[in-house]
Amino acid sequence: MLPGIVDHETERADAYARAARAGNTQRAYLADWAIFTAWCAVRGECPLPTTAEVVRRFVAAEADAGKSPATVERRVAAIGHFHRAENLVAPTAQPDAGKLRETMAGIRNSRGGKKTRKRAADAAVLTAMLGAFPGEGLRAVRDRAVLAIGMAAALRRSELVALTLDDVELVAEGLRLSIGRSKTDQRQDGAEIAVLEGTGLRPRSHLLAWMAAAGHQSGLLFRRLTRGDELTEDGMSDRAVARLVQTAARKAGLDERQFAGHSLRAGFLTESAARGATIFKMQEVSRHKTVQILSEYVRSAERFKDHAGRGFL
| Each residue's pLDDT tens digit, 109-147 | 886 655 567 899 999 999 999 999 999 999 999 999 999
Q: What domains can be seen in the chain, in order of their start residue?
A: 2-110 (1.10.150.130), 123-301 (1.10.443.10)
The CA-atom distances, in angstroms, between 285 and each of 28, 211, 273 are: 26, 23, 13
C-alpha Rg value of the chain to the nearest Å:
23
Average pLDDT over residues 230-251: 95
* Distance, CA of 1 to CA of 15 (rounded, Å): 21
- The b-or-e profile of 134-159 (16+ CB within 10 A means b, else e) is eeeebbbbbbbbbbbbbbbbbbbbbb
* Strand-pair category, 231-235 with 191-196: unpaired
pLDDT cut 70: percent of the chain above it:
88
| Each residue's pLDDT tens digit, 166-185 | 999 999 999 999 997 655 54
Which pLDDT belongs to residue 301?
A: 79
Phi then psi for 8, rounded to 5 degrees?
-65, -45
Q: What number of other Cβ atoms are within 10 A of residue 302's Cβ? A: 13
Query: Which of these ranges, 12-26, 207-221, 240-254, 286-300, has the smallest mean pLDDT?
Result: 12-26
* Distance, CA of 249 to CA of 161 (rounded, Å): 20
pLDDT at 2 over 90: no
Q: Peptide bond before 49: cis, by omega within 30 degrees of 0?
A: yes
Q: Report the run of H or E that residue 224 belongs to, with start and end.
A: strand 223-225
Which pLDDT belongs to residue 26?
A: 79
Query: Which of these ranges, 151-165, 220-234, 278-292, has the smallest mean pLDDT?
Result: 278-292
Which pLDDT belongs to residue 97?
A: 92
CB 74 within 8 A of CB 82: no
CB 138 within 8 A of CB 213: yes
Which pLDDT belongs to residue 204?
A: 95
The mean of the pLDDT values for the chain is 87
The CA-atom distances, in angstroms, between 169 and each of 174, 175, 176 are: 9, 6, 5
Q: Report the run of H or E that residue 29 belongs to, with start and end.
A: helix 23-43
The count of residues in the chain is 313
